[in-house]
Amino acid sequence: MKTNIILIIAFIFSANVIMSQSIDHIEGGQYLKTVEYNLLMSGVKEEYDMYNLKHKSFIDRLFFGTKNSFVEFLFVDSGEGSNEATAFRIIKSQQDDSYKIEIMHFQNIHKLYDIRDLLLEKTTPLKIPYWISATFSFEIRDRIEEHNKQIAILKNRDDLYEPYRPEPKEFQLSKEFAKKTHRKTVTLIDNFKGKGIPPMIFDGNNVTFRCISEDELWTLSIHCPQRRALQLSELFQQIIADGFDNKMDESKYLKLLDEIDL
């Protein structure tokens, strides 16, 4: 009886350790984790849904458009590194519950930043102090208000970003692989914790993990990821590289996903 009680206590303790295991971020850079609503407004058809883009940067929108996908991953290296940005998104079809992956890369990071600055210039509203605008005529104030309204609409239109988007390469995915990739991404974001004080890092790469979880949009952006976040980032980069080499191998990725202890 005493032995059984000890075993039960040991099991409960070990299960609690496993369930509360944190994905520590130590010695890496700054990070931002957000959980928010995925949709701001539902359309009559899926293509008319209005997605929450509040925390999606110009570079995010350049790769992923103005819809939120089942899983999104973005890796942006520095000019001193590979000087490239790579990304994939897994898209779930609501009609037949099928999945596909789109992989993309941009091989000149400085050109990418030039595009970002151009898009910022095109979508920056006019901000005029009230004490100055009060001296304007009603006509000028109305024109400024209309300009800012059109800017806000333009910022959320995909045709602003589409001309600069790299041509994606598409592959069909099995449901098993798509869902396991999604589960790993959800677990990473859910358990991710930063510890200590981040060091001052002026270079290095940035990664973003993003996924839809029920009615929410989960995002984790990290400067210089460490440990298990780094493991998952490197696996996702390998998937992108293999895709461009026409060497996609789901069985290999499923095994590697299992080996990352999240």
In a domain, 10, yes or no: no
State how many domains the chain has. Answer: 1
Instruction: Check residue 2 and give its pLDDT.
Output: 45
Inform me whether the pLDDT recorded for 6 exceeds 70. Answer: no
Instruction: Check residue 45 and give its pLDDT.
Output: 67
In a domain, 17, yes or no: no
How many alpha carbons lie under 13 Å from residue 153 in its C-beta half-sphere? 6
Q: Which domain holds residue 170?
A: 22-108+166-259
In a domain, 133, yes or no: no
Inform me whether the pLDDT recorded for 115 exceeds 80. Answer: yes
pLDDT digits (tens, 9 = 90+) for 192-209: 998 888 888 888 899 999
Q: Which of 106, 109, 105 shows the shortest CA–CA distance to 244?
A: 105
In a domain, 241, yes or no: yes
In a domain, 114, yes or no: no
The one-letter amino acid at 173: L
Confidence of residue 44 (pLDDT cuts 50, 70, 90): low
CATH number at residue 79: 3.30.1560
Measured CA angle at 73 (ends 47, 82), to 5 deg: 135
State the chain's mean pLDDT as an integer. Answer: 88
Give the three-state DSSP class for 152: helix
Q: Burial of 119 by CB count in 10 Å (0-12 exposed, 13-18 middle, 19+ buried)?
A: buried
- Determine the Cα–Cα distance for residues 69 and 117; give it in Å rounded to an integer: 25
